[in-house]
Amino acid sequence: MELSEAKQISLTLPDGSARSYPGTVSGAEVAASIGPGLAKAALAVKVDGVVKDLAAPIEGDAAIEIVTAGHEDSLELLRHDCAHVLAEAVQELYPGTQVTFGPAIENGFYYDFARAEPFTPDDLTVIEQRMHEIVDRNETITREIWARDAAIRHFAGIGEKYKAEHIETLPDDVEISIYRQGDWLDLCTGPHLPSTKKLGHAFKLTKISGAYWRGDARNEQLQRIYGTCWETEKQLKAYLNMLEEAEKRDHRRLGREMNLFHLQEEAAGSVFWHPKGWTLYRAVERYMRRRLEAAGYVEVKTPQLIDRSLWEASGHWEKFHEHMFIAESEDRALAVKPMNCPGHVQIFKQGITSYRDLPLRMAEFGACHRNEPSGALHGMMRVRAFTQDDAHIFCTPEQINSETVIFCELLQSIYTDFGFDDVVVKFSDRPAVRAGDDATWDKAEAALLDAVREAGLDYSLNPGEGAFYGPKLEFVLRDAIGRDWQCGTFQVDFVLPERLGASYVGEDGEKHRPVMLHRAILGSFERFLAILIEQFAGRFPLWLAPVQVVVATITSDANDYAERVRDRMAAAGLRVEADLRNEKINYKVREHSLAKVPVIAVIGRREAEEGKVALRRLGSKEQEILALDDAVIRIKDEATGPATAGNADA
């Protein structure tokens, strides 16, 4: 065919410019036509929003992007390839090992293997070295489409029963895509890099864990190898440093070292709070209670056990019953509450509410239980028993904007008091499975978006992640070492008041449905306290520290004065202990420093004679000598904490 007769296709680039090509073209050819530098840097091509192999044919007009390092999709691509290189390395080193699935995940990748002999940490070093060798081989990666029967025969014939079984379960209309990586191949939908060399060497294997075939505990147990992968060695080093720092800050380890709490199998997913940990818990609770009272909230308490009928009426039974703890009594099914919302509606419904009573801000430190799988439990970050700093604002549609602004200001102020200044907001719209019709969701989403704009918040879209009854905002905190934690939420709900029959009398004398704004700031006390422990690495600001001061004696003849110092500080509202043991002062200081006590008041013979104390701050070898009254005033002022917090023991 003459060139002039070929079908021309037009490809639009990210800058809006368009390029024409005489018929089908690949991403690699497009990159080369733009310039040799882009051709060398190209990793994949994005066609109408879908990432594809560079070799994939582009057969019609489309908007395209050449994916290179730094592109929003490049890391997932690299991590997926790293999983394949891991699998190839394992099968080269340990013949007979079967591969199952190996996806990219946040910050890295994993691959599940079936092997009789367990992998060891030493094996990870050997495997990682082989992965580097595979990268250096520059193995070409190509995609092939196989007939279903041929693919099943191939994998079954080489002893890959998991791959063969998976292919058998795929729908008939699913294309069987095979990626060949040098002489090694795997079942995969892709996309992938054009060769292993493009992966680079910024990866590291991190740990081994158990897994089950298809994630089902009834199936065979597999071995999962995790790794992390980045675009540059600098990024990899920064991430590994962060992991090392995170290990030091792990709330489970610090909880043991500081004697705050413990967890045990007999109460899986529940926390045993020790005196010092419970002191921390109550300091946070008192602070939150003061903030809520000042913001016009009324506090309530709702039952733990509620009949199934209410959960059915609210819609939670259909959505959550698998995660509820159910008790049977007198032929009735009772659920331990997994959330507080239906109970708050029941309180709202008592008596007659006028529009003049709105907004009604109803708060509860509500103890909730959810039947999370045991394998998903993780310290206090993921538990079965937790307390929400929950509240529901019942208001008119006209009050949504003002209540959203008020809430966002309160939330930002509280986060700042706890040391979190970097907050990201995500707007989550309707999920696939939801209560209420599209018109109701249209109204709720429009109302929340309008309120967000009124509050002046920057936000990103989080499609399909709303609650089943309404759209929501998610507030994500960034901690001291760069990790993100989703804590606060705010949801606009037109559905639950309708389902549970809540109403108020409007200015027109008629009954109207209130809008229900669901909101939490900490999320759950357990998880937020775990985040706080890791944020501060146990070195809490004075107003939060479980023990604020330890009075430690140098000699036994200072004991009487040390006890008077302790009593004087306790009378001032400080959380103080005395260490009168017959131990050297350096031993005492070291021990209390490991326990992260912010202030040690050292008392010797001279301090006792002069009525003074020597204050030593955590992390400092310097001492400040003060008269007792001056020391008490100084420490008490510091223990007041944020201007909005008040004394943590008030």
Q: What is the crossing angle of helices 74-93 and 121-137, to 10°? A: 110
The Cα-based distances of 249 to 252, 396, 415 in angstroms read 9, 45, 20
Per the annotation, the verdict on 412 as an active-site residue is: no
Per the annotation, the verdict on 390 as an active-site residue is: yes
Question: Quick one: three-class SS letters along 547-578?
Answer: CCEEEEECCHHHHHHHHHHHHHHHHCCCCEEE
Token pair listed for 491: 């949801």
Residue keyed to tokens 């307390």: 387
Catalytic residue among 163, 316, 472, 592: 472
- Largest alpha-carbon pair distance within the chain? 107
C-alpha 585 chain-centroid distance? 42
Catalytic residue among 46, 370, 588, 616: 370
Question: Quick one: three-class SS letters along 438-457?
Answer: HHHHHHHHHHHHHHHHHHCC
CA distance 601 to 578: 9
CA distance 141 to 135: 11
Catalytic residue among 98, 388, 491, 535: 388
Catalytic residue among 392, 575, 592, 616: 392
SS3 41: helix
Per the annotation, the verdict on 8 as an active-site residue is: no
CA distance 199 to 78: 6
Per the annotation, the verdict on 369 as an active-site residue is: no
Q: 3-state DSSP: the chain helix, strand, coil percent, rounded to 5?
A: 40, 30, 35
185 - beta bridge partners? 180
DSSP 139-191: -BEEEEEE-HHHHHHHHHHTT-HHHHHHHHHS-TTS-EEEEEETTEEEE----
Q: How far apart are the first and last CA of the chain?
A: 88
Catalytic residue among 81, 186, 390, 479: 390
The Cα-based distances of 567 to 516, 559, 571, 576 in angstroms read 49, 12, 6, 8
CA distance 422 to 411: 12
Per the annotation, the verdict on 98 as an active-site residue is: no
Catalytic residue among 82, 229, 341, 408: 341
CA distance 389 to 376: 23
Here the contacts of 45-50 (C-beta below 8 Å, separation 24 or greater) are 46/71, 46/73
Given a contact cutoff of 8 angstroms between Cβ atoms, the answer to whether 190 and 54 are in contact is no
The residues near 97 (Cβ < 8 Å, ≥ 6 apart) are 90, 91, 113, 114, 115
Per the annotation, the verdict on 395 as an active-site residue is: no
List the one residue out of 142, 144, 102, 134 whose CA is nearest residue 199: 134
Question: Quick one: three-class SS letters along 221-281?
Answer: EEEEEEEEECCCHHHHHHHHHHHHHHHHHCHHHHHHHCCCEECCHHHCCCCEECHHHHHHH
Neighbour-count burial for 169-200, b at 16+ CB within 10 Å, e otherwise: eeeeeeebbbbebeebbbbbebbbbbbbebbb
Given a contact cutoff of 8 angstroms between Cβ atoms, the answer to whether 519 and 489 are in contact is yes
Per the annotation, the verdict on 438 as an active-site residue is: no
Residue 235: half-sphere exposure toward Cβ, Cα within 13 Å: 14
Please give the positions annotated as active site: 341, 370, 388, 390, 392, 472, 518
